[in-house]
Amino acid sequence: MQGALGISVHTGWGACVVAAGSVSRPEIIASEVIQLLADPERFCFHAAADMKPDAAEEWIDRMRERALTNARGALPPLIAKASVCAIVAREGRPGDLATVLASHTRIHTAEGYFYRDVFREACPLPVRIVPPSSLDASKVGKLAPPPWGRDQKLAALAAWSALADRS
């Protein structure tokens, strides 16, 4: 059975769930956490804030390539079971690097966009972005063995919303 891949994005990792059916008739095909970058690299914009502009840009590019390599290595078994991908994340752009690095709040926002975009680029399936505010994790019970928490529930909800949109 083909499902949808839902990904709840965090700094350096994503909770990935392949779901089929619907909230009322759920089926969890696969669930795993994919780590894109480990500590301390996962806070790549925080590290870049302490660098000179050219070094910061080179650092971010290098971390992006490393994260893409890790995502492309880890996603294929999940992609093989899905026909569409839904990423739980905000839409938007962080702005230019100098502006981002000048504000701690923008650094956090940029890291969220960074990992969202890494997953989006690494996934060859059609991808849609699902705002976290549109999902209610309380509508999903325990459907899989640990780890099965709020992030996995949001990923499953996003997957089911993508499946519903394709119907």
> Mind listing the pLDDT tens digit for each residue in 132-147?
999 999 989 888 878 8
Among candidate residues 41, 35, 77, the one with its CA nearest the CA of residue 59:
41
H/E segment holding residue 83: strand 82-88
- Residue 17's domain comprises 3-166
Angle between helices 53-74 and 104-122 (to 10 degrees): 40
- Please give the average per-residue pLDDT across 74-81, as a whole number: 98
Q: How many domains does the chain have?
A: 1
- Please give the average per-residue pLDDT across 79-101, as a whole number: 94
Q: At 87, list the tokens.
A: 């990423």
pTM, full prediction: 0.94
Residue 58: beta bridge partners? none
Digit-coded pLDDT (tens) for 8-56 = 999 999 999 999 998 889 999 999 999 999 999 999 999 999 999 999 9
Using CA atoms, how far apart are residues 130 and 91, in angstroms rounded to an integer? 8
Q: What is the CATH number of the domain that holds 17?
A: 3.30.420.10
Q: Answer yes or no: are the C-beta atoms of 113 and 94 closer than 8 Å.
A: yes
